[in-house]
Structure 1
Amino acid sequence: MKTVRVTIDPNKPASVALGRIDAARVDGATEQELARQQAQDEQEAVMDAARFARRVRKRLGLTQAEFSRRIEVSLDTIRNWEQGKRTPTGAAKALLKVLDRNPELALAALH
């Protein structure tokens, strides 16, 4: 996941970026177009989560089966995460973040 930092000075309207949207285009969009774009955005978020889960596992050098055993999550769940069929939430999402930032410590804590 990519982090972008932006500095905004409320006293300088020019520092407030025009944004990542075209306001005129959004104002002219139909409800169907907005719903279609929202669905597309949600699908992209699911695929980002899938790529993140896969990247964490691969950084650890583990197969899906090994990864599932190490973090005590079913193999089907790991496969569903990586295929974008399901998205890790709650504790699973937090665990993936910890494994991404400090894999040795996280794996040691799990066993």
Structure 2
Amino acid sequence: MKNGDTTKTTFERPGTGMTDWSRFDAMSPAERSRAAAADPDARPLTEADMKRMKRTPQVKVVRRALGLTQEDFAARYHIPLGTLRDWEQGRVEPDQAARAYLTVIAREPETVRAALEQRRTGA
């Protein structure tokens, strides 16, 4: 079977991806807030919404504060690299034990590193 043309052709709609920021820039902060509140698809979160949401540990913030790459952080603290990436990208939320471990790492990174190294060397 001959497949002569396998190039997929896509058609762009005129004006897609083009935002007229001049209208937005001309609005006052109060007008912007009213416009956002009136949009049923993009309403700002209320205080009740914020209270209902769970706070996810900021794994990336902890890792960057320590100056480590994902690979180094994962190796140093014995966390599977794929798991760390999933946490950082929001695909998976750390369970309660992992959140506790991350809290300890954030507060005492050298103590955790030393304890894990002792375990590995048998000291």
Query: TM-score band, normalised by the shorter chain?
Result: 0.5 to 0.7
For 1:33-52, list aligned pairs within 5 A: 45=54, 48-49=55-56, 52=58
1:53–1:81: 8 Å Cα contact kept in structure 2? yes
Pair 1:77 & 2:83 matched: yes
Measured after TM superposition, the shift of residue 90 of structure 1 is 3.0
TM-score (normalizing by structure 1): 0.53
Q: Distance in 2 between matches of 1:76 and 1:54?
A: 14
Deviations 1:41-84 (A, max 9, x none): 69x53xx425x111111111110011111111111100100011
Q: Structure 2 residue aligned with 1:96, among 76, 84, 102?
A: 102
Report the Cα distance in structure 2 between the residues aligned to 1:107 and 1:53, rounded to whole angstroms: 16
Query: Aligned AA for 1:104?
Result: E
Say which is worse superposed, 88-97 or 74-83, in terms of deviation: 88-97
Q: CA deviation at 1:107?
A: 1.4
Q: Percent of counterpart pairs with the same letter?
A: 41
TM-score of the aligned structures, taking structure 2 as reference length: 0.49
Gaps (5+ residues) in structure 1? 1-36
Aligned position for 2:114: 108
Aligned residues: 70
Distance of 2:114 and 2:76 partners within structure 1: 10
The structure that is helix-richer by fraction is 1
Query: Any stretches of 5+ residues in structure 2 without a counterpart?
Result: 1-45, 118-123
Check 1:57–1:80 CA distance in 2 against 1; reply closer, same or farther (3 A cut).
same
Which residue of the partner structure matches residue 61 of structure 1? 67
Deviation at 1:91, TM superposition (A): 2.5
Task: Please list every run of at least 4 consecutive aligned residues from structure 1 whose deviation after the TM superposition is greater than 3 angstroms.
Answer: none
Q: Residue 41 and residue 76 in structure 1: after superposition, are their counterparts in 2 closer, same or farther (change >3 A)?
A: farther
Q: Which has the higher contact order (CA 8 A, sep 6+)?
A: 1
Aligned to 2:56, the other structure's residue is in SS state helix
